[in-house]
Chain A
Amino acid sequence: MMDIARSAVEAALSGGADYADARVTRLSCEELVVRNGSLGSAEAPEDMGIGVRVLKDGAWGFGALPLGRAVGLEGGQRAGADAARRAVRSAAALAPMRSEPVRLAGNEGHVDEYSTPLEIDPFGISLEDKVGLLRLADESMSGADETVVRESSLSLRREEQWHASSEGAALHQVLVRSGAGIATTAAAHGQVERRSHPASFGGNYKCAGWEHVLDMDLVEHGPRVRDESVALCSAPACPEGKRTLILGGSQLMLQIHESVGHPTELDRVYGDEVDLAGSSFLTTDKLASFRYGSELVNLVADSTVAGGLDTRGFDDECVPSGRWPIVKDGMFTGYLTGREWAERVGEEKSRGSSRAEGWYNPPIVRITNLSLMPGSWAFEDLLADTEDGAIYADTVRMWSIDQRRLNFQFTCEAAWEIQGGKLGRLLRRPTYQGSTPEFWAGCDAICDASSWELWGVPNCGKGNPMQVAEMSHGASPARFRNVSFVGSEA
């Protein structure tokens, strides 16, 4: 496959490209969902193809074609040459309209291999065992008349990539992602309420093996998830007004993603994403001078962290993975960049945050793994330190944020009112609203590493046409002052 990728690069250069890279990508998946007692979805997709990206006369071009798994060298070279021809042709047609040529930071001619470390290869587990686990999880959620949907799901993905470039890069990577989760929906008393474990929308995902699935104890949590979804239907609505909020990790993950991850993507800052996903309030004059949050807030981008969904050897521009601060002691210190965008702000090298969905798409700037560093509080001590009437909320239900990533409104699956330093009554549909820097400025306590967890986002949409990418966000529960809760009733 590497020979096919190299051959496509050669074809692009022969066709007039000034720079070329070619990615052959093979994706193999197993997607299983047991829904209300039966295997409602059982899919095994496989997909493979080649994407060739070129620079010609200062403009990008991209061509992509499918490959068969048993494609021979000759067939692969033919497809690669065709994709290269398409890429060069599209770049040549549009290059005269560029006001400035695209320039790339650095020279990334690496030759290397990378594989996700696995304790247990998830594709080595029998289908019977996988479905058996999901059935047990499903049964553990049964028993309540109010329950209308029980879902236990498993998603396994193996992505193998051969990447060559005209700078001499030859990279082979195998990334394995495993995810699983359970959820129940109850309908009663005119309400429809869902609870999930360990996170919503398919559970938690990691670059890891079957060991990650086992670690989530899906069966053990089934009865709690069922009972909480039923209880939520008759729970009082979360009250409106300003209150202290403690966010659990699986909700804080979303807060990091939407209000720190996306605004720090440098292509947004320059306006190149404004046609769909939006722009960013984090203009370049704010770098190193803008207070993002309180002094406790430290957010680190890290495409090397163990288990991260975007943990890899190299990004899709052949840039090695790394770790760098985005917010340090509350100050904004760094962007997420690709090679084109790093050059724009005068950085010598890209941060390696440029990725594409499969072989079919050109890479764009992406959030990598981005985490809130742990603080010093034990969770129980934080509750004990928090006044009556404050809210503890967790698990993503709904999210919406404006086109500049300032005004957000998020709804969690569940909340508990804090009373006497402990979790008190259950509250339905907590919906909080705020503005990004004010919200992070209100952070006055972060729990310690014992409750820090890495949460995977398997479905981040960006680009136009839209692409999906994966990343993780680490967080432990944290406390925020003066948060506005708003009504969510009709």
Chain B
Amino acid sequence: MNLFLQEDVLGFARALVQRSPAHETEVSVAGVQDSFVRFGAQGPSQNADRERAEVSIRVRLKEGEGYREARATCGSLADADADAALGRALALARVSEPNAELPPLGGAVNVPETAAQRPTMDHSFREKAKAVGRALEACRAQDLLPAGLFQTTALSRGLVNSAGREVFGARSRASFALTASSGAPDGSGLSGEGSGFAESISDNVERVDTQGVVERAVAKAVSSRAPRALAAGEYTVVLEPAAVSSLLLFAAYHGFGAQEVSERSSLLCGRIGETLFPEELTLVDDAANPVYSGFSFDGEGAPRQRAVLLSGGRLGQPVTDARWSKKLGVANTGHGKQQPTTDGPSPENLILAPGAASRENLIAGVERGLLVTQFHYTNMIEPLDLVLTGMTRNGTYWIEGGEVQHPVRNLRFTQSLVGALQAVTGIGREQEVAGALFDGELVAPAVRIDGFRFTSSTDF
């Protein structure tokens, strides 16, 4: 079976739904083709070419006004494995209690077609080697240690349920990232005296700017050598897209879902409809965005709707799934996970709208402050104001009089995201796809924020 052919995937899922004795059944099939080259100081350190599949079977047994519900998965497309998973799902469903809050499975829908990009699927190790070679050479020329990853992935998803829903889609992802660091490759370790990071992510490997990544990462590493100490305190910051990403993704994890709002644990609690932020701030979740698209349906096969989370500084409604849509009596925005799960709906394709400023304009507007390339290990202390902490990384610079002056040693921040967004004074016009240490990616420009709170410093 070809996991990237709609008829193969839906035919398999349809047959399994038909074999199920449950009152309602939903079968999801996912496929992954992945290859990557990881590299370090001695060159390529891991090279992998791999595939996997997942068959997920959700069954429901009707009882009274509710459903007993459970799920089982297997990593094989063999009928015997799928039937065994169906048996496990049924056994689990029988010990669950009827849940009257669950709506019936959704019926037929139309979703936009999405496809994996052929150049990304066909990308070879020899092609990856060329970009890796350029990174190694550029680092060597500047006496820097390279570390990075060139990865190409194709993903497919199909879903069939007993209510007549059949959806299929595919997408691809390609990324090239380089971290260049000062130090010696002999185990005496990284000096910590300067490092630079850059990454390019696209659904089409031909749009991944490998040369630009090498140039930017190496330039940052060189320019961040000999950083000076800086005391912790409140500073105006210009955050590049990678740094913006590691903050905003926490709003995706914890802030904009209906479950967190209902459980009084979201930044939206008591704030929906309020204009709390500068009017330049607009944040949407949009799987169909042209910069970096996602799957057009969610874990239950519901069409992913464009959700306006923040528009002109005004907070919008949380995203929902079938269960929360029924519970709250609002529309299903199509942001559900595979069910059943204890996780609520959440945005997965965040886009922070661009502003009008160039990167130079953003920096020029800072009298005394910092330019931050990336944050490391950001984590959440408190959910209502989204108080976060993390470290600067891979290029932090002192700005004075509107110009970058010199690199500074890394700092830890402890800052509420709500407060940070309220203090945004400029938004860049160039968007990038960026990720973070934990899961997820989004599209964001650079932003300038006043009074960003750094709470401790380092000696590197």
How far is it, in angstroms, between the C-alpha of A105 and the C-alpha of B180 when the chains are bound?
Answer: 28
Q: Cβ of A86: which chain B residues have Cβ within 8 Å of it?
A: 49-50
Interface of A is mostly: mixed
Listed stretches B92-100, B201-209, B294-302; interface member: B92-100
The digit string for A404-426, where 1 denotes a CB below 8 A from any CB of B, is 10110101000000000000000
Closest to A406 in B: B458
Q: How far is the CB of A130 from chain B (nearest CB, A)?
A: 8
Residues in A with CB closer than 8 Å to B149 are 275-276, 464-465
Q: Is the CB–CB distance between B47 and A285 below 8 Å?
A: no
Give per-residue flags for B372-387: 1 if the beta carbon is below 8 A from chain A beta carbons, else 0: 0000111111111101
Tell me which of A34-42, A306-314, A374-382, A448-456 binds B.
A34-42
Name the interface residues of A453-467: CB closer than 8 Å to any CB of B.
461, 464-465
CB pair A490–B416 under 8 Å, yes or no, is: yes
Q: Does B456 contact A (CB under 8 A)?
A: yes
Asked if A65 and B41 sit within 8 Å, CB to CB, the answer is: no
* Contact, CB under 8 Å: B393 / A403: yes
A114 contacts chain B at the CB level, 8 A cutoff: no
Q: What residues of B have a CB within 8 angstroms of the CB of A429 in the complex?
A: 381-382
A398 touches B43 (CB 8 A): no
Asked if A128 is an interface residue, CB under 8 A from chain B, the answer is: yes
Q: Are A62 and B75 in contact (CB under 8 A)?
A: no
How far apart sit A464 and B437, CA to CA, in the bound complex (Å)? 10
Kindly list chain B residues whose C-beta atoms are within 8 Å of the C-beta of A62: 46-50
Q: Do residues A69 and B387 form an inter-chain contact, with CB atoms below 8 A?
A: no
Least distance between B101 CB and chain A CB atoms (Å): 9
CB contact between A488 and one of B51, B132, B382 (< 8 Å): that residue = B382
Tell me which of A96-104, A163-171, A470-478 binds B: A96-104
Q: How far is the CB of A35 from chain B (nearest CB, A)?
A: 5
A-side contacts of B50, CB under 8 Å: 51, 62-65, 83, 86, 360
Quick check: which of B183-191, B237-245, B357-365, B398-406 contacts chain A, the rest being far away? B183-191
Alpha-carbon distance A460/B76, docked complex (angstroms): 26
Q: Does B25 have its Cβ within 8 Å of any Cβ on chain A?
A: no
| A59 interfacial contact with B, CB 8 Å | yes
Name the CB-closest residue of B to A401. Answer: B377
Interface assignment of A384: CB less than 8 Å from any CB of chain B: no
Beta-carbon nearest neighbor of A129 in chain B: B95
Cross-chain contact of B124 among A93, A360, A399, A404 (Cβ < 8 A): A93
A111 at the interface (CB under 8 A from B): no
Q: Which of A384-400 contact B (CB under 8 A)?
A: 397-400
Contact A272 B40 (CB under 8 A): yes
Residues of chain B with a CB closer than 8 A to A280's CB: 189
Chain A residues with CB below 8 A from B177, complex form: 275
Residue of chain A at shortest CB distance from B38? A464
- Give the shortest distance, in Å, between A404 (CB) and chain B (any CB): 6
A1-9, A185-193, A217-225, A318-326: which lies at the interface: A185-193
Whether B81 contacts A192 by the Cβ 8 Å rule is: no
User: A175 to chain B: which residues have CB within 8 Å?
Assistant: none
* Contact of A488 with B387 in the complex, beta carbons under 8 Å: yes
B219 interface residue, CB < 8 Å from A? no
> B410 contacts the other chain (Cβ, under 8 Å)?
yes
Are B183 and A465 in contact, CB atoms less than 8 angstroms apart?
no
With A91-B47, A279-B190, A490-B382: A46-B85 Cβ-Cβ less than 8 Å: yes
Q: Within 8 Å of chain B (Cβ to Cβ): is A239?
A: no
Q: Is B253 an interface residue (CB 8 A)?
A: no
Q: Given the complex, which residues of A lie within 8 Å of B41, measured CB to CB?
A: 99, 270-272
A212 at the interface (CB under 8 A from B): no
Nearest chain A CB to B151's CB is how many angstroms away?
A: 7
Contact across chains for B147 and A273 when beta carbons are under 8 A apart? yes
C-alpha gap A148/B263 in the complex (Å): 5
The interface residues of chain B lying within 8 Å CB-to-CB of A406 are 458, 460
Asked if A60 contacts B44 (CB within 8 A), the reply is yes
Complex Cα gap A272–B74 (Å): 33
In the complex, what distance in Å separates the CA atom of A197 from the CA atom of B331? 37
Query: A112 to B145, alpha carbons, bound, how many Å?
Result: 40
State in angstroms the CA–CA spacing of A487 and B381 once bound together: 10
Q: Select which of A98, A131, A284, A399 is within 8 A of B187 by beta carbon.
A: A284
**Residue of B37, B381, B456 with highest tally of chain A CB at under 10 A:** B381
Q: Does B391 contact A (CB under 8 A)?
A: yes
Chain A interface: which size bin?
35 or more
* Chain B nearest Cβ from A51, distance in angstroms: 8
A486-B88 Cα distance, complex, nearest whole Å: 48
B89 an interface residue at 8 Å Cβ cutoff? yes
Q: Which of B47, B192, B414 contacts A59 (CB under 8 A)?
A: B47
User: Are A360 and B136 in contact (CB-based, < 8 A)?
Assistant: no
Q: A97-B136, A486-B455 are in contact. Are A90 and B48 (CB under 8 A)?
A: yes
The interface residues of chain A lying within 8 Å CB-to-CB of B391 are: 400-403, 407
Question: B117: CB under 8 A from chain A?
Answer: no
**B44–A398 touching, CB < 8 Å:** no
Chain A residues with CB under 8 A of B412: 400, 402, 407, 409, 433
- Binary contact readout B338-365 vs A (1 if CB under 8 angstroms, 0 otherwise): 0011100000000000000000000000
Q: Which of B8-16, B65-73, B103-111, B157-165 contacts A (4 or more CB under 8 A)?
A: B65-73
Q: Point out the residues of chain B lying under 8 angstroms from A97, CB to CB.
A: 39, 43-44, 129, 132-133, 136
B76, A48: Cβ atoms closer than 8 Å: yes
Closest to B133 in A: A97
Closest residue of chain B to A40 (Cβ to Cβ) is B342
- Measured between alpha carbons, how far is A461 from B96 in the docked complex, in Å? 32
Q: Which of B295-326 contact A (CB under 8 A)?
A: none
Q: Is the CB of A94 within 8 A of B47?
A: yes
The residue from A65, A131, A270 contacting B96, defined by CB atoms under 8 A apart: A131
Q: Is A63's CB under 8 angstroms from B48's CB? A: yes
Whether the pair B43, A44 counts as a contact (CB closer than 8 A) is no
> In this complex, what residue of B is CB-closest to A272?
B40
Residue of A nearest to B438 (CB): A461
**Within residues 73 to 99 of chain A, which ones have a CB less than 8 A from any CB in chain B?**
83, 86-87, 89-91, 93-99
B85 pairs with A44, CB closer than 8 A: yes
Contact assessment for B179 and A274 in the assembled complex, using a CB-CB cutoff below 8 Å: yes
Instruction: Tell me the complex Cα distance, A59–B81, Å.
Output: 36
Q: Which of A241-296 contact B (CB under 8 A)?
A: 269-285
Does A136 sit at the interface, judged by CB under 8 A? no
When A93-B126, A97-B133, A488-B387 are in contact, do A60 and B46 touch as well, CB less than 8 Å? yes
Q: For residue A345, which residues in chain B have a CB less than 8 angstroms away from its CB? A: 187
Instruction: Say whether B2 faces chain A, with CB atoms less than 8 Å apart.
Output: no
In this assembly, does A21 line the interface, its C-beta being within 8 Å of a C-beta of chain B?
Answer: no
In the bound complex, residues from chain B placing their C-beta under 8 Å from that of A51 are 50
Q: How far is the CB of A12 from chain B (nearest CB, A)?
A: 13
Output the nearest chain A residue to B32 by Cβ-Cβ distance.
Answer: A360
Contacts of A190 in B (CB 8 A): 384
Q: Which residues of B contact A403 (CB under 8 A)?
A: 376-377, 391, 393, 410
**Contact sample, A vs B, 28 pairs, CB 8 Å cutoff:** A41-B341, A45-B72, A48-B76, A62-B49, A64-B50, A66-B76, A68-B77, A69-B81, A93-B126, A93-B129, A97-B44, A127-B94, A128-B95, A148-B265, A149-B265, A192-B265, A269-B187, A271-B40, A271-B190, A272-B40, A274-B181, A360-B50, A362-B48, A400-B390, A404-B192, A409-B456, A486-B414, A487-B414
Other contacts beyond A94-B129, A271-B145, A402-B376: 12, CB < 8 A: A43-B92, A46-B88, A68-B81, A89-B125, A93-B128, A270-B187, A278-B377, A283-B187, A402-B391, A429-B381, A464-B149, A488-B382
Residues of B at under 8 Å CB distance from A?
34-54, 69-78, 80-81, 84-85, 88-89, 91-97, 99, 124-126, 128-129, 132-133, 136, 145, 147-149, 151, 177-179, 181, 183, 185-190, 192, 195, 263-265, 340-342, 376-385, 387, 389-391, 393, 410, 412, 414, 416, 418-419, 437-438, 455-456, 458, 460
Interface residue ranges, A against B (CB under 8 Å): 32-33, 35, 38-49, 51, 59-71, 83, 86-87, 89-91, 93-100, 102, 127-128, 130-131, 148-149, 151, 185, 187, 190-192, 269-285, 344-345, 360-362, 364, 397-404, 406-407, 409, 411, 429, 431, 433, 461, 464-465, 486-490
Closest 10 CB pairs of A and B: A283-B189, A68-B78, A93-B125, A490-B416, A47-B75, A490-B385, A187-B264, A90-B47, A94-B44, A64-B50
